[in-house]
Amino acid sequence: MSKILIVEDEPKLASLVADYLKAAGYEAHCIENGLEVISWVKSNQPDLIVLDLMLPGRGGLEICKELRTFSDLPVIMVTARVEEVDRLIGLEAGADDYLCKPFSVRELVARVKALLRRPRANCRNAPAGSGHRRGKSQGFTGWTRRST
Ligand code: CA
């Protein structure tokens, strides 16, 4: 199960995003304070980070730059600032994608899925000649058997 870290200081938004990700079959963990992100990432090794730009403690840009010094894990930056320059800075900082607030949580989930499907650029140990395998389908447990 892919583990997603949500760094967001608005608790309602963070839990909404977490709920949607969990419903989509992911494990979701929320952090509110920017200062806690790097150490959490190092000890928990998430598969993807949803990173707010404006955070208490430490800003998303700075966090993203430090992340890139030791990790290539996918980062989706979330920002309420829509100026073009901020978008560029977000990508310069090494983010893989970004979303502007307010955003559709469904769209966020779609982007998470897309990034997790994408092979890492520097992934060198992809098995060769092992046949094409489709990704494991996320078990959808919402079905109930109808007894007739
Ligand atoms: Ca914020």
Q: Ligand 1 centroid to 2 CA: how many Å?
A: 24
CA nearest 8: which of 103, 118, 117, 107? 103
Q: Ligand 1 centroid to 115 CA: how many Å?
A: 22
CA nearest 26: which of 77, 93, 74, 91? 74
Q: Ligand 1 centroid to 95 CA: how many Å?
A: 17
Q: Ligand 1 centroid to 35 CA: how many Å?
A: 13
The alpha carbon dihedral of 29, 110, 96, 117 has a sign of positive
Q: How far is CA 62 from the centre of its chain?
A: 17
The pLDDT, as a whole number, for residue 84 is: 61
The pLDDT, as a whole number, for residue 100 is: 87
The pLDDT, as a whole number, for residue 117 is: 93
Coil, strand or helix at 77 = strand
Q: Ligand 1 centroid to 1 CA: how many Å?
A: 27
Q: Ligand 1 centroid to 78 CA: how many Å?
A: 8
The pLDDT, as a whole number, for residue 66 is: 95
Extents of the domains making up the chain? 3-117
Q: What fold characterizes domain 3-117?
A: Rossmann fold (3.40.50)
Q: How far apart are CA 51 and CA 7, in angstroms?
A: 5
User: What's the whole-model pTM score?
Assistant: 0.78
The pLDDT, as a whole number, for residue 93 is: 86
User: pLDDT truncated to tens, each residue of the chain (148 aa)?
Assistant: 999 999 999 999 999 999 999 999 999 999 999 999 999 999 999 999 999 999 999 999 899 999 999 999 999 999 887 766 666 666 788 899 888 888 999 999 999 999 999 876 554 444 444 334 444 444 444 444 555 5
**Residue 114 has which token pair?**
């897309």
Orientation angle between helical segments 60-67 and 84-92, nearest 10 degrees:
30
Strand ranges (E), 83-137: 97-100
